[in-house]
C-alpha cells in the first residue's frame, strides 16, 4: 500500500512537468510548414566584423552597418526561398544545405560578390512564423589573396500583405532592392 501512495504522486508530478512542453509544441505548431510566399522586407545589421588574416578586409563593412532589402518569395519556393532573403544585397549565392521548415531556419550557402575573387561561406540559423523571421548569419571568406574576414549579422524580416512578382534573378538568388537606413550610407557590404 505504501508503494502505491508514493507512486501516484510521482506519476502526477511527472504528468504536470510534461505538460510544460505542450506550450512549446503549440508555438511550433503555429508556425507554417514553410516560409510564406510574398514580399519580405528584411533588415540586416552587422554585429561583428574582423579580419582573419591580419590585413585590411576585402569587404568594406563595420559593426553597426545596416541595410534593408525587399525580396519576393514566389509560391512554390518557400522551402528554399531566394538566398537574398537571408544574405542581403550584392551577393550571388547558392544553397549547399537547408532546412527551412516548421518554424526553423538552418541553411548553409556558398556566395560570391562581383568585387571579390573567392567565396564567402554563410550559415543561417533562426526561426520564423506566419509573418516574420529572425536569424543570425555567420559569414567567412575564402579569398585567394589578402583580405579574408568573418562577419556576424542579425537579420529580421517582415512579410508585406499581398502577392509579389519575382524579378528576373541571377542563378543564386533574388535581386534585392537596397534602401539605406536613416543615417547610414547603405553602400557598405552586408
How do residues 23-69 score in pLDDT, each as one tens digit?
444 444 478 999 999 999 999 999 999 999 999 999 999 999 999 99
Q: What is the pLDDT of residue 166?
A: 62
State how far the Cα of 146 lies from the Cα of 139, in Å rounded to an integer.
16
Residue 148 pLDDT: 96
Which of 14, 33, 139, 17 lies closest to 83 in space, CA to CA? 139
Contacts of 3 (CB under 8 A, 6+ apart): none
Q: What is the pLDDT of residue 13?
A: 44
Indicate whether 81 pLDDT > 80: yes
For residue range 91-105, list pLDDT tens digits in order. 999 999 999 999 999
Nine-digit cell string for 95: 544553397
Please report which residue ranges of the chain form alpha helices under DSSP H. 2-18, 20-30, 84-87
Sort 125 into a burial class: Cβ within 10 Å, 0-12 / 13-18 / 19+. middle
pLDDT of residue 162: 75
Residue 9, judged by CB atoms within 10 A of its CB (0-12, 13-18, 19+), counts as exposed
Of 32 and 165, which is predicted with more confidence? 32
Give the pLDDT confidence score for residue 168 in this predicted structure: 57
Q: Indicate the length of the chain as a whole number.
A: 190
Is a pLDDT exceeding 70 seen at residue 3? no
Lowest mean pLDDT among 77-81, 148-152, 156-160: 77-81
97, 91, 103: which is closest to 29 by C-alpha? 103
pLDDT of residue 149: 97
What is the predicted pLDDT for the residue at 178? 38
Amino acid at each position: 500500500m505504501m508503494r502505491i501512495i508514493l507512486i501516484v504522486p510521482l506519476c502526477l508530478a511527472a504528468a504536470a512537468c510534461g505538460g510544460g512542453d505542450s506550450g512549446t509544441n503549440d508555438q511550433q505548431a503555429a508556425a507554417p510548414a514553410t516560409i510564406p510566399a510574398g514580399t519580405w522586407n528584411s533588415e540586416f545589421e552587422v554585429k561583428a566584423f574582423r579580419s582573419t588574416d591580419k590585413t585590411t578586409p576585402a569587404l568594406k563593412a563595420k559593426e553597426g552597418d545596416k541595410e534593408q532589402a525587399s525580396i519576393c518569395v514566389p509560391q512554390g519556393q518557400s522551402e528554399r526561398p531566394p538566398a537574398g532573403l537571408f544574405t542581403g544585397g550584392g551577393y550571388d549565392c547558392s544553397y549547399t544545405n537547408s532546412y527551412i521548415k516548421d518554424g526553423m531556419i538552418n541553411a548553409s550557402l556558398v556566395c560570391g560578390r562581383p568585387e571579390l575573387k573567392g567565396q564567402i561561406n554563410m550559415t543561417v540559423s533562426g526561426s520564423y512564423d506566419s509573418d516574420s523571421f529572425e536569424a543570425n548569419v555567420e559569414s567567412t571568406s575564402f579569398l585567394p589573396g589578402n583580405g579574408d574576414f568573418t562577419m556576424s549579422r542579425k537579420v529580421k524580416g517582415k512579410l508585406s500583405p499581398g502577392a509579389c512578382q519575382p524579378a528576373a534573378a541571377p542563378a543564386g538568388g533574388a535581386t534585392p532592392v537596397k534602401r539605406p537606413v536613416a543615417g547610414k550610407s547603405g553602400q557598405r557590404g552586408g
